[in-house]
Structure 1
């Protein structure tokens, strides 16, 4: 009787204990539906700017090119010849400048004479020009024509290789006389032909060019 009662008590006790719910059993296991937590990567420090390295290496010097067979050092004789040619060229330019300079001074003085006296002069001595020679070593200065309307003056080359000049000054009504100098296109001992007045412009004859 006691044994039967004890069996009944064991059965009833085991039946009275609560069964674990599925949720309690599953809570101890990791959830399959929940995504795994991603590990955050450590912050990346900004990269410092890279300094450009200056190339301190010395530039490569080009080796001198050896002279070719056609090149040869200038001899003393050739150097002297070049200097003589340069001096001769500059001397020719100086000679030509003297003729042009004298003619320019004469034409300016003729303009002043016309404004004061009412006519141009054929006498170079009447012009207010200091030390104006009629003849120099390189040029002969001459007034070809002078009246109330115009004056024609020439600088005739006396040496070979230099240019001759013809200057002209024309009266203008109620205005300052206009003038120009015409230079021979080639070295010559003959001055250019007389230029002509066209309107208010002086036009040089063929074979000569006006000097600006």
Structure 2
């Protein structure tokens, strides 16, 4: 096969062709669909009968290149930030998007809020980044009605988080707003790791998502 520019071109008119079928087991599909979760997790779910109609899974999965390459991160930064000692004491937040494919209601972004103590995550879908203030108000009303008051909110330096309106919102609500160092996502590691986990599931393995989901 001859090379054209930087790739090989397939000529279907040639007499001799070679095909390599790709066979992927249901165990590998389940592993990818769960965001490359550790294989012991699905096996425990099946053995404990936590979920119904799970397929038969192999005891071991082949070596996953995505796990090896995708989880090779830089050495951790020194721990200079404090950890929350109770729920809602510190909330991490970030916005993900612009997504290529909009949701069924036309949302192109989502705002995530992660409790530092419990690691509970709430997601609000947005059509525009400017809607983040409304998402904060909705999130604040929901969690404070259930569990108490938000004390600290930590985000990056995105314009949607540094606007005068957003700062006024935090000031009126009595929320201490922390901003991480610009261009240093390592300082917002909780949000970055959760964002990677969410996108691995939603973008790569759309077959697991219920098509009836409204958002």
TM-score (norm 1): 0.21
Higher relative contact order (CA 8 A, sep 6+): 2
Q: Between Structure 1 and Structure 2, whose CA radius of gyration is higher?
A: 1
